[in-house]
Amino acid sequence: MTPTAVATLGFSILCLLAAAPARAQQDKVIAAGKEEFQAHCTACHGDDARGDGRLAELLTVKPTDLTGIAKKSGGTFPFWQVYGVIEGAVPVKGHIYMPDWKSRFEADQTKRGYDDAYLRILTLTHYLESIQEK
């Protein structure tokens, strides 16, 4: 084996070893986002995020199918736009406005005793990114 081949093989192994902890962390973030979604979003968006939750029929405008965001955006998930919608900075009109989750999470964090509103929104956004249809 040539020195270049050995170096390439060594680099590839290092990349694989480094990717395992990163993948585990990514999985934890997505799992936390899924928990937030199940606790706060399924009533309107449904268990599978397709806009068919139990309250959907009561709304004037059907909730968005959240699995098709990337497809509607030319194949790229608009991460920070979605974050802004969840945060409440980008209004979404329906029968009522989509809840301002930043304010709700901030109110909840005073009960918990730590600042996690932004992290909760980030985990939700990462979860939604992970469920996009290909």
SS3 letters across the chain: CCHHHHHHHHHHHHHHHHHHHHHHHHHHHHHHHHHHHHHHCHHHHCCCCCCCCCCHHHCCCCCCCHHHHHHHCCCCCCHHHHHHHHHCCCCCCCCCCCCCHHHHHHHHHHHHCCCCHHHHHHHHHHHHHHCCCC
The residue ranking higher by pLDDT, 38 or 101, is: 38
Domain 29-130: assigned CATH number: 1.10.760
pLDDT of residue 94: 59
- The yes-or-no verdict on residue 22 having pLDDT over 90 is no
Torsion of CA 21, 49, 97, 115, to 10 degrees: -20
First-to-final CA distance of the chain: 40
pLDDT of residue 68: 97
Spans of all domains in the chain: 29-130
Average pLDDT of span 5-28: 65
pLDDT band per the 50, 70, 90 thresholds, residue 24: confident
The residue ranking higher by pLDDT, 11 or 61, is: 61
How does pLDDT run across 44-100, given as a tens digit for each residue? 999 999 999 999 888 888 889 999 999 999 999 999 999 999 988 887 765 566 777
- The yes-or-no verdict on residue 114 having pLDDT over 70 is no
Taking the model in full, what pTM does it have? 0.78
